[in-house]
C-alpha cells in the first residue's frame, strides 16, 4: 500500500484551505450583508485568481481560456434571457398569469397535487433542456401559482434546484455523465457511467420527496439566518 508523506498531506490541506477560504469569503459577504450577490461573485473571482497565484498555477493560457469560456457562457445566458423575457412578456400581456392561477385554483385538486404536477413538468423538461432555460421559462409561471396556493417560494426554489440536480444526472441529457466520460478511462463507456449514476439519482429523489413532504427541512436554515 502506498504511503502518503507528511509533505503531500500538508499540500493537500493547503489546497483545501484555499478553496474553503474563497467559498467562505463569497458566502460570508452575502449573508453578513457586506456585499450583494454580484459583488460577492467579483470577490470570488479575485480570490480564485489569488489562490491560483499562490499555488503557482496562474498562467496566461488559463486566464485566456477562462475569459473565453466566461464570454461564451454570458453570451448564451444573454440570448436565453432575451428569448425567455420576450416569451414571458407576451404571456403576461395576454393575461397568462391570471389565467393559469384561476385554472389551478379552480381545479378540484389538492395543492400538493399541483406541486407534483409542476415537479413532473420539470422532470420531463430536464430530460431535454438545460436548467437555465427551464428556470427562465417555468419560474415566472410557477411562482405566482405557488404563492396563490399559500406555499413558501423559498421552499419551491429548493425543490426546483433538487429537481434540476436530478436532471443533471439522468439520461438522455445528463451533462454530468458526459463530463465524466471526457475524463474517464477509454474502457469505461457512457452506459457504464449512467448505470453508476442511478444510486445517486435514487438518493436525490428520496431527498426531493423528503423536502416535499416536510418543508421545514428546506426552511429552517433561512429562518435561522433571516428570522421569521
CA pair distance 7, 14, nearest whole angstrom: 10
Contact 133, 84 (CB under 8 A): yes
Question: Do residues 126 and 44 share a domain?
Answer: no
- pLDDT (tens digit, 9 = 90+) per residue, 7-45? 777 766 766 787 788 888 888 888 787 888 888 888 888
Looking at the domain assignment, is residue 22 inside a domain? Answer: yes
Looking at the domain assignment, is residue 65 inside a domain? Answer: no
Looking at the domain assignment, is residue 78 inside a domain? Answer: no
Looking at the domain assignment, is residue 147 inside a domain? Answer: yes
CA pair distance 100, 90, nearest whole angstrom: 14
Residue-level pLDDT at 160: 93
Give the range of the structural domain holding residue 5, as residue numbers without chain letter.
1-58
Angle at CA 104, nearest 5°, toward 102 and 110? Answer: 135
CA pair distance 189, 200, nearest whole angstrom: 18
Residue-level pLDDT at 161: 92
pLDDT at residue 2 greater than cutoff 60 = no
Phi first, then psi: give them for residue 127, nearest 5 degrees.
-70, -20
Question: Do residues 134 and 179 share a domain?
Answer: yes
CA pair distance 154, 169, nearest whole angstrom: 23
- pLDDT (tens digit, 9 = 90+) per residue, 90-123? 777 777 767 777 776 677 778 888 888 888 888 8
How does DSSP assign 78-141, residue by residue?
HHHHHHHHHHHHHHHHTTHHHHHHHHHHHSS--HHHHHHHHHHHHHHHHTTS-HHHHHHHHHHH
Residue-level pLDDT at 15: 67
Residue-level pLDDT at 87: 76
Looking at the domain assignment, is residue 46 inside a domain? Answer: yes
Count of other CB atoms within 10 angstroms of residue 215: 16
Residue-level pLDDT at 11: 67
Contacts of 131 (CB under 8 A, 6+ apart): 164, 167, 168
Q: What is the pTM of this model?
A: 0.65
Amino acid at each position: 500500500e502506498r504511503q502518503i508523506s507528511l509533505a503531500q498531506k500538508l499540500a493537500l490541506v493547503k489546497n483545501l484551505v484555499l478553496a474553503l477560504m474563497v467559498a467562505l469569503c463569497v458566502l460570508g459577504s452575502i449573508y453578513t450583508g457586506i456585499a450583494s450577490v454580484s459583488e460577492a461573485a467579483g470577490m470570488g473571482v479575485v480570490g480564485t485568481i489569488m489562490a491560483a497565484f499562490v499555488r503557482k498555477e496562474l498562467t496566461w493560457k488559463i486566464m485566456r481560456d477562462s475569459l473565453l469560456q466566461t464570454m461564451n457562457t454570458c453570451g448564451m445566458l444573454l440570448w436565453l434571457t432575451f428569448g425567455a423575457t420576450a416569451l414571458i412578456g407576451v404571456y403576461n400581456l395576454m393575461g397568462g398569469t391570471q389565467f393559469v392561477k384561476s385554472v389551478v385554483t379552480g381545479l378540484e385538486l389538492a395543492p400538493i397535487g399541483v406541486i407534483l404536477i409542476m415537479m413532473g413538468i420539470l422532470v420531463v423538461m430536464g430530460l431535454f433542456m438545460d436548467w437555465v432555460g427551464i428556470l427562465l421559462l417555468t419560474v415566472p409561471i410557477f411562482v405566482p401559482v405557488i404563492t396563490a396556493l399559500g406555499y413558501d417560494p423559498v421552499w419551491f426554489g429548493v425543490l426546483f434546484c433538487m429537481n434540476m440536480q436530478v436532471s443533471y444526472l439522468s439520461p438522455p441529457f445528463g451533462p454530468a455523465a458526459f463530463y465524466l466520460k471526457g475524463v474517464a478511462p477509454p474502457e469505461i463507456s457512457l452506459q457504464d457511467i449512467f448505470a453508476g449514476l442511478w444510486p445517486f439519482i435514487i438518493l436525490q429523489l428520496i431527498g426531493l420527496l423528503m423536502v416535499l413532504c416536510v418543508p421545514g427541512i428546506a426552511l429552517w436554515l433561512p429562518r435561522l439566518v433571516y428570522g421569521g
